[in-house]
Amino acid sequence: MASVKQFQVTFDCANPERVARFWCDVLGYVVPPPPEGFASWEEFDRALPPERQGSAFACVDPTGVGPRLFFQRVPEGKVVKNRVHLDVRVGTGLVGDERLAVLEAECERLVALGAVRQRVLVADGFNESCIVMQDVEGNEFCLD
């Protein structure tokens, strides 16, 4: 049986570079080098046919551990809740007020980057607290 060694997470969006740069800031990811033969992503983008310019962007974990994130432009807007979302794990191992304080601090940082706070889900004896948020194009994610 074959096993998967790597995967990427793909986001459909209206403005791939904007959403990618938001997630770079959230996760500490970086924009990878442009393709060979191009000095910058802007130069590469200008070499594409007009209808493909600005249609995709990516970011990667500089440590090589996390998955590549790929952002592709689609014509339709977001209509309903995501069926899959990212959990940004900032409170791992923490509980109670200490956990909430860490989540709230990260929430403030992300709101300053353009995220939107939706609601706090308070610990219920089974799940720990988390904060439901949206990225710059309305994609849901959780601070966990």
Instruction: Select from 136, 131, 105, 103 the least CA-distant residue to 118.
Output: 131
- Ordered by start, the domain boundaries in the chain are 8-73, 86-143
Q: What is the pLDDT of residues 57-104, one digit of tens each?
A: 999 999 999 999 999 999 888 888 888 899 999 999 999 999 999 999
Q: Tell me the average pLDDT of the chain.
A: 94
Q: What is the pLDDT of residue 7?
A: 87
Cβ pair 141, 86 in contact under 8 A: yes
Q: Strand, helix or coil at 48?
A: coil
pTM of the model: 0.90
pLDDT at 117 over 90: yes
Token code pair at residue 94: 């923490």
pLDDT at 111 over 90: yes
Token code pair at residue 25: 């800031």
